Amino acid sequence: MAEHPGDPVLPLDLSAATHVSSLAAARRPDSAFDDVIGAFPPGEECAAAFGWVLRQSIDEVLDGQRTGRFDVDDLEKTEKTYLGTKVEIIARDHFGWERGQRGRMDYLIAGHEVDSKFTSGGNWTIPAEAVGHICLLVKADDHRSSFQVGLVRIHEDLLNAGRNRDGKRSLSAIGRQAVHWLVRDGRLPPNILLSLAPHERDAIFHPPATGRRRSGSGQARTNALFRRVRGRLVDRNTVLTVARQDDGPKRVRDARIDLRPEGIMVLGHQNQHPRIARALDLPVPDKGSWIAVKVRRLAPGEESGRPAVEIGTGWYTVWSEGDPAPEAPESY
């Protein structure tokens, strides 16, 4: 893709040289910039922190418990705009940054003014006021479960020439090269509902009536969630989005009772649940997450050759297609 340097009086045949000098300018010693970089935690820790900040921001704006939404594409325009503000608020709180002192920049990091620029699209749009300032660039794509975080001091030369209706310019290819990436290839904590095939989602949001649960009830949907999503950690927000009720843990406890006859266990972080998850070679839930697993009871003396766990008076293993009938323990 051809890039156009910001200064239109330069002859085009100098553009390559200009690019090099733009980048060199962006890489000139900048102790404030270095201070800001130094204020961030190292690699993995930084990625984990921003992953949490972004997951939390997206989930709060989706407001799944009230709206049943799980896809950022369903956000209204005002909500998409607000998402950047929410990211800024949650990041500031999480990292303990202050607001910029002059009230113009979003953060004060290591004593320096830093502006926050978020995009869920392809590129960042930079207002004229940001030129000369350090920007924290954050991009998140919930559909690809990916995010990026970087720092750049904005120069005219790092922006494309074209302006949008608000007079903002996008970061050029040279600009992207000038970014100091804090997280180049971040993985967002998964959005379970978004990751499911449409027919799976449909089975969760519109479950048939089973047993004593009305098909339209939050409990029936929660049951369907754990019936369909097994062997994967399910977070609290996913439960709330499906249940559309504020007591997620209560819905999970009731799902545990309702799904027992189907041989499905729902493990949390309490009691012997972590031990069971570990023994069955499953991810181990933290507080506020759960994992469903369909199990069967081993016959006395049976060697299944698979991970098994003793619960009460029996040994249980993960049920697979073709196995004898699933059976969950009475209590666990």
Binding site for a copy of itself (CB under 8 A): 63, 66-67, 76, 78-79, 81-82, 84-85, 89-90, 92-93
Q: Is 298 helix (H, G, I), strand (E, B) or coil?
A: coil
**Toward a copy of itself, which CB reaches closer, 92 or 297?**
92
- Between 78 and 331, CB nearer to a copy of itself: 78
Q: Which helix (H) or strand (E) holds 317?
A: strand 314-318
Cα–Cα distance measured from residue 205 to residue 229, given in angstroms and rounded to the nearest whole number: 13
Closer to a copy of itself by Cβ: residue 81 or 215: 81
Smallest distance from the beta carbon of 144 to a copy of itself, in angstroms? 25
Q: Given the complex with a copy of itself, which of 88 and 327 has the nearer CB atom?
A: 88
Q: Which one-letter amino acid corresponds to residue 53?
A: V
Q: How far is the CB of 99 from a copy of itself (least distance, A)?
A: 9
Angle at the Cα of 312 (from 307 to 314), degrees rounded to 5? 50
Q: Are 121 and 134 in contact (CB under 8 A)?
A: no
Pairing mode of beta strands 180-187, 146-153: antiparallel
Q: How far is the CB of 84 from a copy of itself (least distance, A)?
A: 7
Cβ-based nearer residue to a copy of itself, 57 or 148: 57
Closer by beta carbon to a copy of itself, 84 or else 263: 84
The span from the CA of 101 to the CA of 108, in Å, is 7
Residue 239 has a CB neighbour count (10 Å cut-off) of 27
Q: Closest separation between CB of residue 234 and a copy of itself, Å?
A: 22
Cβ of residue 88: shortest distance to a copy of itself, in angstroms? Answer: 9
Which residues, 6 or more positions from 72, have their beta carbon under 8 angstroms from its beta carbon? 58, 61, 62, 80, 83, 120, 142, 143
Q: Compute the least distance from the CB of residue 163 to a copy of itself, in Å.
A: 18
